Amino acid sequence: MSLALADRQFFPPEIATHLAKLACELPDDAGRSLSLWTCAELARTLQQEGLVESISPQSVQRILLSYRLKPWRIHYWLSPKTPRDEEFRRRTENVCDLYTRDLEAHERVFCVDEKTSLQPRPRTSVTRPAKPGLPIRLEHEYLRRGALQLFAALDTRSGKVTGICRRRKRQEDFIELLETLDRDTPTSVTVIHVVCDNLIMHKGKKVQAWLTEHSRFRFHFTPVHCSWMNQIEQWFSILQRKRLSAPNFSNLEELESKIQGFITEWNAAAHPFRWTTASFAKVLAKVETSALAAA
């Protein structure tokens, strides 16, 4: 007999049932000023309600696990403000096609976006390297020396990144990135697909005017609230983890230099990210399941 079943048999069945019901309520709705339930707080609540004279947090945990309940955990989700309709499907399938099909020789696919508010955060004391038994030691206090915005594009087939840093985040700065891609892409490439999110800056009048003069560029927008479909976000997470997790740069100039150095090192051994049609099929299947459940 498992410990969980033993606990459920030790306490009256109605106690285990009440505990499971309580765990399925938000603490505020149960009259407790808590963000999340813990086993200790659930045990305390049962005792305050006079349902049990004594019960340990460990017994609470075992009983809840027998119901497959973990109310101390939290999972973020976003209630969509736009319907998961045919437009959602069309955009998802379009991005899937750009990522997974064999490109013609005259095509390129770039994923573009901005990583904003990158601060140098110089420390008031020198960072100390690791020693036997000691990790790297980073001074907690830092100074504020402004911020940079990184405009970046990732070639989905080579994995190589193009990036520029600017003090502001404007259409003009975004256009500079597009002009860099235009200049660096051979003229034999007559179609440049650009995948980006739905930021207003990407659809502004100045950007639209630039596009009318550069006919080989074609914009493709990810579904609303699905910026994770943009592959540059994967690379941004790598940049954050490997170069920006403990910022300690003397000024904006050094920060920009280090970012460009990281891009150079990345491109020397660049690799594409592997996306498959199965990944997108799962997204669409979940949407269809949600739609059926809501019907």
**230 in any annotated domain:** yes
HSE (side-chain half, CA atoms, 13 Å) at 225: 10
pLDDT the model gives residue 2 = 43
Name the pairing type of β-strands 191-196 and 107-118. parallel
22 lies in the same domain as 146: no
* The 107-118 sheet, strands edge to edge: 161-166, 148-155, 107-118, 191-196, 217-221
Please list, in sequence order, all residues whose beta carbon lies within 8 angstroms of the beta carbon of residue 39, skipping any fewer than 6 positions away: 57, 58, 60, 61, 64, 72
pLDDT the model gives residue 3 = 40
**231 in any annotated domain:** yes
Please list, in sequence order, all residues whose beta carbon lies within 8 angstroms of the beta carbon of residue 155, skipping any fewer than 6 positions away: 108, 109, 110, 161, 162, 272
Which of the listed residues 22, 41, 66 is the one where a domain comes to its end? 66
168-171 long-range Cβ contacts below 8 angstroms, 24+ apart:
169/114, 169/116, 169/201, 170/201, 171/201, 171/204, 171/205, 171/206, 171/207
112 lies in the same domain as 251: yes
CATH number of 147's domain: 3.30.420.10
Paired tokens of 137: 């030691």
185 lies in the same domain as 60: no
pLDDT the model gives residue 103 = 97
pLDDT the model gives residue 227 = 86
Maximal C-alpha separation, the chain: 80
Which residue range is the domain that position 236 belongs to? 102-127+139-272
The structural domain count of the chain equals 2
Q: What is the DSSP string of 91-109?
A: HHHHHHHHHHSPPPTTEEE
Which stretches of the chain are DSSP H helices? Answer: 3-10, 13-23, 39-48, 57-66, 86-100, 171-184, 205-212, 232-242, 252-268, 277-294
- pLDDT per residue, tens digit, the chain (295 aa), is 344 444 555 677 889 999 999 999 999 999 999 999 999 999 999 999 999 888 999 999 999 999 999 999 998 766 666 667 788 899 999 999 999 999 999 999 999 999 999 999 999 898 898 999 999 898 989 999 999 999 999 999 999 999 999 999 999 999 999 999 999 999 999 999 999 999 999 999 999 999 999 999 999 999 988 888 999 999 999 999 999 998 999 999 999 999 999 999 999 999 999 999 998 888 888 766 655 444 4
**237 in any annotated domain:** yes
% of the chain residues with pLDDT over 90? 76
Which of the listed residues 15, 45, 66 is the one where a domain comes to its end? 66
61 lies in the same domain as 153: no
Q: Identify which of 250, 260, 242, 241 has the alpha carbon closest to the alpha carbon of residue 126.
A: 250
pLDDT the model gives residue 158 = 98
End-to-end CA distance of the chain: 42
Paired tokens of 276: 């498959």
62 lies in the same domain as 160: no
121 lies in the same domain as 23: no
**281 in any annotated domain:** no
173 lies in the same domain as 113: yes
153 lies in the same domain as 217: yes
